[in-house]
Amino acid sequence: MQTDHSTHGVDRSKISVMLMKLFDHWGLNSTQMLGLLGYSPTNRGLLSDYRSGKPLANDRDKLERAGILLGIHKTLRLLFPHNRQLAYTWMTQTNRAFGGLSPVTVAEKYGIMGLHQVRSYLDVQRGR
């Protein structure tokens, strides 16, 4: 019997690998990675599983977080098309717009609402 790892036509195995590569580009540690994905910091083995292609959990929270994170990445690439380094470091730099916290810290502190806050801020900066 074959298992279906796709949701809405997107392969959750590919999503998990893409997120791990993105987190590496952003220079995140395992605690930050797990926090952004909505997992306990003690769940470090999961990151290795995701790196090797284990499908992202098929639950609404995890899929929503993945969508927001990938959307943040896309928007950063659009905002800084000629400065990939800035696009990759922006998430970990302190920002006055977030009270001096980094976007990653905002997302860790406020969970899914923090991710939405970061994404909304970037969408405004992009001129939507």
Q: What are 59-106's pLDDT values in tens digits?
A: 999 999 999 999 999 999 999 999 999 999 999 999 999 999 999 999
In the DSSP assignment, the letter for residue 39 is -
From residue 59, alpha-carbon distances to 12, 37, 38, 45, 128 in Å are 11, 12, 11, 19, 29
DSSP label of 95? B
For residue 5, pLDDT over 70 is answered with: no
pTM (2 decimals)? 0.89
- What are the angstrom distances between the C-alpha of 43 and each of 32, 50, 73? 12, 12, 24
Residues 23-66 pLDDT 10s: 999 999 999 999 999 999 999 899 999 999 999 989 999 999 99
Q: Compute the distance between CA of residue 41 and CA of residue 125 in angstroms, rounded to an integer.
A: 31
